[in-house]
Amino acid sequence: MDHLLAAVDLGSNSFRLSIGRVTQQEGSEQIYQIDRLKETVRLAAGLDADKRLSPEAIDRAVAVLERFGERLRSFHPNRVRAVATNTFRVARNTADFLPRAEAALGFPIEVIAGREEARLIFSGVIHTLPPSANKRLVIDIGGGSTEVIIGKGFEPGLMSSLYMGCVSYSRQFFQDGVVDSHQMKQAELAARREIEVISKQYRKMGWKEAYGSSGTAKALFAILTECGFSTTGITRAGLNKLKDRIIRSGRVIPSELPGIKTERADVLPGGLAIMSALFDELNIDVMYTGDGALRLGVLYDLLGRDDQHDKRDESVRQFMRRYHIDLNQAARVRRCALALFSGLTSPDSERGELKHLLGWAADLHEVGLSIAHNDYHKHSAYVLGNADMPGFSRADQQVLAMLALGHQGKLAKLEPLVRTRDQWLAVLCLRLAVLLLRRREDLATLPLTLSVRDKSIVVRIDSEWLAAHPLSDFTLRSEESEWRKVGFSFELLEL
């Protein structure tokens, strides 16, 4: 039976509430986040020189917790976990403040240690990523602390919590929001001194993939990509370009930085300095963002889940049930599309991830039929691009949406969405599979073969089969003009 769990993350910059629905199907449990609340509290900014929270900061926090408490009023205590992080750890008057905070929320609040925070962050991030045999580095720059974790699978190995955060560093080094090269350098040096304590051990263990979670990493990723400072994620070169832009302006000016959220502007300089120091001390080449974070890790901790299956397979199966997919037709289209794509792929190809996405797109290309038959491919694309699909990154979902949108209709609409030639080939294979299987009947053998060289597509097809299928003949010949519009030649050869 489905049930709800709730996680409350009381961070140094923002308070967050996440509510997840646990579904159980075929012995597998999955969490779908169904409600989220986030409010910027800037608790760390309320610490005075004696590390005591000001009455104003406490009042802000209590007001937010009262609103969260209303949302959680019907929850059983066993299904709610509230965790408080660095500012609660360091504030000298936490013991006085905590009873009032718990009364406002209506549930106990656990002030967790830095390593426990790191463990939960790692769990939250990893549960949103595809499975991998590689070691992964996860970094979370919070308002008052930064967690650095290396782990493999679902198991964290090295875990550290460093006493530096975007709020505390912005207050310390960039007073009144003024940013100059000297203060930026001082902030970076201070951060490097903190990281230096752990850097040798982390570099020795090593990792293959690096991910950043929560506000600072997501803000930097959005700014770097939308400003054109980076095309591959967070990079050292991109960070340097952003620093130069801010230093020239003398402060963070949101109108000059597409991708930034207004509430993030005041704390961006501190987060940028810390991220730059992490890149330098740990020799990070590129960092991507993970959708999960502390609150999702808390939800899975409540669930007590320890699952090594590919979460994306589970999500696809649940979507197929939810949207009443014709399972037989989906299986036919999947087999055909993957057979065509495999025929274009050499054994040592690096297209494995795209092949997985093509298979899932074949499974889900008819999701939109549950909404309306007219333009159902557009409905499919919207659902796949915007729905909560545990295990899929946003980038994954954009590829799924693109494939669903392109499996029929005009191809020109895909030009702003397709990033690589291989993605065009995946579109081609899915279109041909849907075309061949329009009668929703099994094919004993594929009546055609496919070859592509550079931007030349050649389809060789059995002439007798083509003569017996005039609708397929007409549709295949219509493909020639569609592919020509997007820069490919398309030749149909009868054998």
Q: Name which of 307, 323, 361 is nearest 22 in CA terms.
A: 307
Residue 149's pLDDT band, with cuts at 50, 70 and 90, is very high
Give CA torsion, residues 113, 114, 115, 117, to 10 deg: 90
Amino acid at 166: C
Inter-residue contact 437 to 403 (CB < 8 Å): no
Q: Please state the rounded mean pLDDT for residues 408-415.
A: 94
Q: Which residue has the tokens 């370009």?
A: 241
Most confident of 129-138, 268-277, 380-389, 459-468: 268-277
In the sheet where 456-461 sits, what is the strand order?
448-453, 456-461, 489-494
Per-residue DSSP letters for 285-333?
A: -EEEE-S--HHHHHHHHHHT----S-HHHHHHHHHHHHTT--HHHHHHH
**pLDDT tops 50 at residue 347:** no
DSSP 423: H
Question: Phi/psi at 251 (nearest 5 deg)?
Answer: -170, 170
User: Token digits for 228?
Assistant: 């054109």
pLDDT of residue 306: 35
Radius of gyration of the chain, Cα coordinates, nearest whole angstrom = 26
**pLDDT tops 70 at residue 349:** no
Residue 391's pLDDT band, with cuts at 50, 70 and 90, is low
Q: Please state the rounded mean pLDDT for residues 37-62.
A: 92
Q: Which residue has the tokens 């493999």?
A: 152
* Ranges in the chain annotated CATH 3.30.420.40: 3-113
Separation between Cα atoms, residue 375 and residue 379, nearest integer Å = 7
Separation between Cα atoms, residue 342 and residue 465, nearest integer Å = 23
Inter-residue contact 3 to 9 (CB < 8 Å): no
**pLDDT tops 80 at residue 443:** yes
Inter-residue contact 150 to 158 (CB < 8 Å): yes
Report the CATH superfamily, name and number, of domain 3-113: ATPase, nucleotide binding domain (3.30.420.40)
Inter-residue contact 289 to 211 (CB < 8 Å): yes
* Ranges in the chain annotated CATH 3.30.420.150: 129-290
Separation between Cα atoms, residue 11 and residue 83, nearest integer Å = 9
Mean pLDDT of the chain: 90
* CATH number of this structure's domain 311-444: 1.10.3210.10
Separation between Cα atoms, residue 169 and residue 143, nearest integer Å = 9
Separation between Cα atoms, residue 406 and residue 192, nearest integer Å = 48
Separation between Cα atoms, residue 345 and residue 351, nearest integer Å = 8
Inter-residue contact 248 to 256 (CB < 8 Å): no
**pLDDT tops 90 at residue 28:** no
Picking from 333-347, 352-366, 410-424, which range would have the lowest pLDDT averaged per residue? 333-347
Higher pLDDT, 347 or 67: 67
pLDDT of residue 263: 82
Give the tens place of pLDDT for each residue, 193-244: 999 999 999 999 999 999 998 889 999 999 999 999 998 899 999 999 999 9
Give the tens place of pLDDT for each residue, 83-122: 999 899 999 999 899 999 999 999 989 888 888 889 889 9
Residue 311's pLDDT band, with cuts at 50, 70 and 90, is low
Length of the chain: 495
* Ranges in the chain annotated CATH 1.10.3210.10: 311-444
Question: Phi/psi at 293 (nearest 5 deg)?
Answer: -160, -165
Burial of residue 31, with CB atoms counted within 10 A of its CB: 0-12 exposed, 13-18 middle, 19 or more buried: buried
**pLDDT tops 60 at residue 182:** yes
Separation between Cα atoms, residue 283 and residue 342, nearest integer Å = 37
For CA atoms 264, 283, 230, 420, the dihedral sign is: negative
Q: Please state the rounded mean pLDDT for residues 413-421.
A: 91
Q: Please state the rounded mean pLDDT for residues 455-461.
A: 93
Separation between Cα atoms, residue 6 and residue 102, nearest integer Å = 15
**pLDDT tops 80 at residue 427:** yes
> Percentage of the chain with pLDDT > 70?
95
Burial of residue 21, with CB atoms counted within 10 A of its CB: 0-12 exposed, 13-18 middle, 19 or more buried: middle
pLDDT of residue 78: 84
Question: Phi/psi at 34 (nearest 5 deg)?
Answer: -110, -15
Give the tens place of pLDDT for each residue, 266-306: 999 999 999 999 999 999 999 999 877 899 888 988 886 33
For domain 129-290, the question of CATH label 3.30.420.150 is answered with yes
Separation between Cα atoms, residue 263 and residue 39, nearest integer Å = 10
